[in-house]
Structures are given as C-alpha cells and as structure tokens.
C-alpha cells in the first residue's frame, strides 16, 4: 500500500523504515517491525539503530519500543512554514471558519493520501496541532476527491492506484470505476462532496485550490455533522468556499508554494 523507494539507495530504505514506524500509530517493538519489513533482521536492526542515534526515532528502554523522534517535529516546523499551504491559507480559513461556524480543513496530497495541513474550528481551537500532519484516504473524503479530480491524467492514475477502497461506510465508493465517474462530475461542477463516505454522520463540501495556470496545490473543505446540517445546507457556503479557494490559490502562487505538476 505505501511505497516510495524506487531506487533511492540506502537513504530511501532508511526512510521507508521511518514510514513503517509511523504507520503503526503507536510505539512498536523491533520484532513487530521485522514482521512487516522487506529487510532481513540485521539490516533492519542497523537502520533502526542509526535512526535512533539520529533522533529520528526514539527508543524507550523500559518497554523496548521505538516511536517517532522529536527531531522530526523540529524539521517539520520548517516544512510547515515553507512547503505547506498552511501559512498562506491560515487567515483565509480562519475567516471562513468564523463565517460558517463549522470546521474548515486544509489539505495537500502526499503520496496518494490526503494530508491535513491545517484545521480551524471555532468551537475547539486546541485540536489544531493534533490534526496537522494527520492523513486520510483520498478516495472517500471531500478534500481527497477535490484534489484527485483536478490532477493531470498521469498523476490521477498513479494516485488512484494507491487507494485501498476500504468500505468505511455504506456510502464509500469501493472501486476505481465508481471513483473515476465521481471525479468527472467533480471536475465539471468544481465542488466535491463527502456524503458520509469516510465517517458515518460526517458530511463535507470541498473545493480545489489551484494556481492561475490550473495546477492543483490542495483543497479546502467545510465539514459538519448530519445531526446539525445536511449536505444541501452546506450548499449555502459554496460561494464563500470557492472564493476562499481562489484567493488562497492566488496567494500561494505569489509565495511560490510548490505544486506537483
């Protein structure tokens, strides 16, 4: 499912180990890593040692487990400031969140997955940091579909092939054919919906953030609970959402946020 090392030598392999540890979403033992690893025991062992030395992993001697290291949060600070849309988009999504009183999300795509780079919800403003960096699937979220719909054909093919099509809820799209049909609709209308496809009771309206040349850099969405509003209620914010996405796109271009085209 996840892969990234076509032929990037030792460094690529070591980074793959980092991904593996991250995927566990909890501190993990060496033997657990070994089971899911393409590398033989001593090789994996040395990678883990090196990464720990380097502060990319941290080792808990009591529990004998490895977790992601603090050095990453230092490095990511810089990433967040310079390579993500978040810094540029922050004021825009704050305004939008205040305006509609719902959770506003901002995402980029990272290797086929929707990467949340910022979140803004007026009622619980302390959740932000815990959310940034979180990943969600591309095929069953508003943000993901909005991004996928506006990629170039080759990128889209590649990204679609990375999707797992796990049926999270009854409304989840479960095949690349269904997804492609939906993406065509989205490309025409300019807006994507999440109709409880990822989580029961959560719906959202999302739209792509693009540069003036039309290259996709990310997506914004407004999410809400079905207990409060329906999809059609969210329609109300459509113009505001589109306007925000456009403004972010323009600013991102000026600030030269890297896109993937």
Q: Which of 130, 124, 119, 123 is nearest to 94 (CA)?
A: 119
Query: Does 247 sit near a second copy (CB under 8 A)?
Result: no
Q: Which one of a second copy, DNA, none interacts with residue 115, CB within 5 to 8 A by kind? A: a second copy
**What residues are paired with 116 via a beta bridge?**
107
* Residue entry with tokens 């479960």: 174
Distance CA 94, CA 137 (A): 24
User: Residue 102 has which token pair?
Assistant: 């719902």
Question: What separation in angstroms does the CA of 215 have from each of 27, 155, 183, 249, 252?
Answer: 38, 12, 16, 10, 11
Shortest separation between residue 116's beta carbon and DNA, angstroms: 32
Shortest separation between residue 130's beta carbon and a second copy, angstroms: 7
Distance CA 104, CA 95 (A): 10
- Enumerate residues 6+ apart whose C-beta is below 8 A from 89: 106, 118, 209, 218, 220, 248, 251, 252
Q: How many other C-beta atoms are found inside a 10 Å radius of the C-beta of residue 23?
A: 12
Q: Which one of DNA, a second copy, none interacts with residue 158, CB within 5 to 8 A by kind? A: none
Query: Does 74 sit near a second copy (CB under 8 A)?
Result: yes
Number of residues that bind DNA (CB under 7 A): 17
Among 2, 3, 4, 10, which residue sits at the site for DNA (rule: CB under 7 A)? 10
**What residues are paired with 194 via a beta bridge?**
204
Contact 133, 157 (CB under 8 A): no
Binding mask 8-37 for a second copy (x = CB under 8 A): xxxxx-xx--xx-xx--xxx----------
Number of residues that bind a second copy (CB under 8 A): 70
State the Rg of the chain over Cα.
19
Q: Which one of a second copy, DNA, none interacts with residue 75, CB within 5 to 8 A by kind? A: a second copy
Q: Which one of DNA, a second copy, none interacts with residue 77, CB within 5 to 8 A by kind? A: a second copy
* Residue entry with tokens 């490309």: 187
Query: Does 228 sit near DNA (CB under 7 A)?
Result: no
Q: Show contacts with DNA in window 48-107 (CB under 7 A).
A: 64
User: Residue 189 has which token pair?
Assistant: 């209308």
Q: Considering beta carbons, is residue 152 or 230 the nearer one to a second copy?
A: 152
Query: Does 110 sit near a second copy (CB under 8 A)?
Result: yes
Query: Does 45 sit near a second copy (CB under 8 A)?
Result: no
Q: Considering beta carbons, is residue 202 or 252 the nearer one to a second copy?
A: 252
**What residues are paired with 111 via a beta bridge?**
none
* Residue entry with tokens 């993406």: 183
Query: Does 148 sit near a second copy (CB under 8 A)?
Result: no
The residues of the shown chain that bind DNA, judged by CB under 7 A, are 9-11, 13, 29-31, 34, 39-43, 45-47, 64
**Residues forming the site for a second copy (CB under 8 A):** 4-6, 8-12, 14-15, 18-19, 21-22, 25-27, 47, 50-51, 53-56, 58-60, 62-63, 67-84, 86-87, 90, 94, 108, 110-111, 113, 115, 117-118, 120, 125-126, 128-130, 132-135, 256, 258
């Amino acid at each position: 499912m996840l892969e990234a090392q076509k032929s990037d030598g030792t460094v690529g392999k070591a980074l793959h180990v980092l991904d593996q540890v991250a995927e566990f979403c909890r501190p993990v033992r060496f033997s657990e890593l070994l089971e899911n690893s393409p590398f033989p025991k001593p090789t994996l062992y040395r990678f883990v040692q090196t990464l720990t030395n380097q502060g990319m992993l941290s080792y808990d001697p009591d529990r004998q487990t490895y977790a992601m290291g603090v050095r990453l949060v230092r490095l990511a600070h810089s990433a967040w400031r310079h390579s993500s849309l978040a810094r540029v988009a922050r004021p825009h999504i704050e305004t939008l969140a205040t305006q509609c009183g719902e959770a506003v999300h901002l995402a980029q795509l990272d290797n086929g997955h929707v990467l949340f780079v910022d979140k803004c919800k007026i009622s619980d403003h302390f959740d932000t940091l815990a959310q940034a960096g979180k990943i969600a699937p591309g095929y069953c979220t508003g943000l993901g579909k909005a991004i996928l719909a506006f990629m170039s054909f080759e990128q889209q093919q590649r990204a679609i092939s990375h999707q797992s099509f796990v049926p999270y809820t009854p409304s989840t799209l479960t095949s690349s054919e269904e997804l492609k049909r939906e993406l065509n609709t989205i490309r025409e209308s300019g807006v994507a919906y999440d109709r409880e496809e990822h989580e029961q009771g959560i719906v959202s309206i999302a739209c792509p953030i693009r540069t003036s040349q039309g290259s996709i850099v990310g997506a914004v969405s407004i999410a809400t609970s079905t207990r409060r509003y329906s999809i059609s209620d969210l329609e109300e914010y459509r113009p505001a959402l589109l306007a925000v996405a456009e403004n972010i796109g323009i600013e991102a271009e000026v600030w030269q946020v890297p896109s993937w085209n």
